[in-house]
């Protein structure tokens, strides 16, 4: 899941980003509304955690623009004002959910996962042959044995299985699994694929398609 944290409190924004990355999410940070709109225009985020009182373009206007564009990005709005009227107003703008500050980090994670599932509920299981992955439980099995995969390895495997045989370019994996700050010329994808292949075992499942990327299963 790729998340944009749009929050002008830099300390809070960075702390939230670190925590969400530990939960296996790819996270970018915007410290004002103008930067948030720019990032949302060029990247397909699953969820934006949107502070309502952003400098520059106000958070309300960022929300309105996403709704007007019929964006698939889900909106979790944050604000220091937690009255019922504030919540109603925020949801009335088109936000998918609303969380007042201060909040418990565990609740933030749960709400992000919840709103992130709303556009299209993920399948109960992704599978190819004797390999299966539970997107909600974040576990994968091969021939009945649980695979010990890292968050990033699970996310890459989910992308490959969801593609149903379509080659997935390394650039797409970078966008969906890692942060925007990652060097696009890094060998991270290649290294993760190598480790994932080793953990999946034999017979090999991940195929490298010349000049196209990686896939599981035939065309």
Q: What CATH number has the domain bearing residue 188?
A: 1.10.10.10
Residues 202, 133, single domain; the answer is yes
Model confidence pLDDT, tens digit, residues 93-102: 788 888 888 8
204 inside domain: yes
Q: Give the pLDDT confidence score for residue 178 in this predicted structure.
A: 79
Write the DSSP symbol of residue 187: S
Does some domain include residue 9? yes
Q: How many Å apart are CA 89 and CA 60, to the nearest integer?
A: 10
Per-residue pLDDT averaged across 75-94, rounded?
71
Smallest CA-to-CA distance from 30 within 6, 57, 47, 64 is with 6
Nearest CA to 215 among 163, 151, 178? 163
Residue 121 within a domain: no
Q: Do 84 and 12 reside in the same domain of the chain?
A: yes
For the segment 151-167, the average pLDDT, to the nearest whole number, is: 89
Considering the domain boundaries, does residue 168 fall inside one?
yes
pLDDT score, position 205: 93
Domain count, the chain: 2
Cα–Cα distance measured from residue 163 to residue 217, given in angstroms and rounded to the nearest whole number:
10
Express as a percent the part of the chain with pLDDT over 70. 88
- C-alpha 99 chain-centroid distance: 19
> From CA 121, how far away is CA 136, in angstroms rounded?
10
What's 25's domain CATH number?
A: 3.40.50.2300
Q: Which residues pair with 28 in a beta bridge?
A: 4
Same structural domain, 131 and 108? no
Residues 19 and 107 in one domain: yes
pLDDT at position 146 is 95
pTM of the model: 0.60
**Whether residue 96 sits in one domain with residue 146:** no
CA 208, 211, 217, 218 dihedral sign is negative
Same domain, 148 and 211: yes
Q: Where are the beta strands (DSSP E) in the chain?
A: 2-6, 26-30, 47-51, 74-79, 97-100, 126-128, 131-134, 139-142, 145-146, 206-209, 213-216
Residue at a domain's end among 116, 151, 168 = 116
Boundary residue ending a domain (67, 89, 116): 116
Residue 26 φ then ψ, to 5°: -95, 125
pLDDT for residue 84 is more than 60: no
In a domain, 176, yes or no: yes
Domain edge (last residue) among 70, 88, 116: 116
> Do both 29 and 71 map to the same domain?
yes
Predicted pLDDT of residue 49: 96
**Residue 130 clears pLDDT 60, i.e. is over it:** yes
Domain that holds residue 12: 2-116
Amino acid 87: pLDDT: 59
Q: How many whole angstroms separate alpha carbon 35 and alpha carbon 29?
A: 9
């Amino acid at each position: 899941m790729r998340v944009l944290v749009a929050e002008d409190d830099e300390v809070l924004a960075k702390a939230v980003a670190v925590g969400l990355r530990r939960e296996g999410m790819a996270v970018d940070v915007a410290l004002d509304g103008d930067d948030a709109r720019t990032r949302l225009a060029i990247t397909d985020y699953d969820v934006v955690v949107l502070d309502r009182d952003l400098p520059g373009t106000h958070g309300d206007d960022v929300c309105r623009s996403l709704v007007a564009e019929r964006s698939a990005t889900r909106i979790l709005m944050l604000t220091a004002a937690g009255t019922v009227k504030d919540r109603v107003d925020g949801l009335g703008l088109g936000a998918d959910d609303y969380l007042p500050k201060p909040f418990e980090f565990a609740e933030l994670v749960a709400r992000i996962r919840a709103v992130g599932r709303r556009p299209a509920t993920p399948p109960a299981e992704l599978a190819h042959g004797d390999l299966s992955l539970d997107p909600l439980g974040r576990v994968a099995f091969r021939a009945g044995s649980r695979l010990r995969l890292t968050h990033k390895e699970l996310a890459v495997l989910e992308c490959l299985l969801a593609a149903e045989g379509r080659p997935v370019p390394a650039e797409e994996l970078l966008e969906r699994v890692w942060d925007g700050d990652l060097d696009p010329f890094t060998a991270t994808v290649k290294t993760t694929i190598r480790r994932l292949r080793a953990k999946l075992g034999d017979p090999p499942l991940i195929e490298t398609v010349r000049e196209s990327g990686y896939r599981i299963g035939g065309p």
